[in-house]
Amino acid sequence: MSTAQFDPARYKAEQRQSWNAASQHERDRMPEIRLTVNGRQERLTVKNSTLLVNALRDQLGLTGAREACGVGICGACTVIVNRRTVSSCLSLAVLADGAEVLTVEGLSDGDRLHPLQQAFLEAGAFQCGYCTPGFLMSGVALLATAEDPSEEEVRHFLVGNLCRCTSYQEILSAVMKMKEQASPDWLQPRGGLSARPPA
Ligand code: FES
Ligand code: FES
């Protein structure tokens, strides 16, 4: 009785081929996710590989979160997911399924700025403004959750946000100025921008 000869090289090649096919299939799957963004229920069809920053910008038109470094260093893409700051350039959109997401567009109430936005404006805490949405989201998250943070703690919390125009001192002043007025409600959307296009 003859048995087919086992060929380890061929076996490995077949395994690799089927693994590649499966992973490509997984990458191309288009799951539907539901999430609440700035108080609005949204339903999105995304790839498994779609980043949260791209889903927000490209599918919802929420361009406040910017992808700058793309590797979790600069903080320009910071949004709040389930009350915690995340780098949306490192977060898969599918992992936000069922989550509550707050972006910088959800801070204002129509044309009325959020108190921290107003403080940034008064302190001149930006120049080009590229980093500003990320700093605002980090500042809101910190002030809404920390009780009476010291200047050192604020500096430490904001270490993940970079400003290329070096407005750090003004940003720090604006955040420190608002710490008395902050409340946990700051993690709730306040109405959003009036310019936000209808769903
Ligand atoms: S773009 Fe996400 S941390 Fe820089
Ligand atoms: S204001 Fe320009 S990067 Fe911060």
pLDDT recorded at residue 61: 96
- pLDDT given for residue 16 in this prediction: 65
Q: Where in the chain is the domain with CATH 3.10.20.30?
A: 32-106
Q: How far is CA 50 from the centre of its chain?
A: 13
Q: What is the pTM of this model?
A: 0.84
pLDDT tens, position by position, 104-145: 999 999 889 999 999 999 999 999 999 999 999 999 999 999
Answer whether 72 contacts ligand 1 (Cβ < 6 A).
yes
Q: How far is the CA of 17 from the centre of ligand 1 (A)?
A: 34
Whether residue 186 contacts residue 143, with contact meaning beta carbons closer than 8 Å, is answered with yes
* Each residue's pLDDT tens digit, 24-56: 666 667 889 999 999 999 999 999 999 999 999
Residue 125 CA: nearest ligand 2 atom is: 1
Instruction: Report CA(192)–ligand 2 centroid distance (Å).
Output: 23
18 Cα to the center of ligand 2, angstroms: 47
Q: Are strands 32-37 and 78-81 parallel, antiparallel or unpaired?
A: unpaired
In angstroms, what is the C-alpha Rg of the chain? 22
Ligand closest to CA 75: 1
| CATH superfamily of the 32-106 domain | Beta-grasp domain (3.10.20.30)
- Give 58's contacts (C-beta < 8 A, 6+ positions apart): none
- The domain 115-187 is placed in CATH, from the list 3.20.20.80, 2.60.40.1180, 3.40.1280.10, 1.10.150.120, at 1.10.150.120
Provide the Cα torsion 150, 156, 160, 161; round to 10°: 40
Residue 160 CB–ligand 1 contact under 6 Å: no
**Burial (CB count <10 Å: 0-12, 13-18, 19+), residue 196:** middle
What per-residue confidence (pLDDT) applies to 29?
A: 75
Domain with CATH 1.10.150.120 in the chain: 115-187
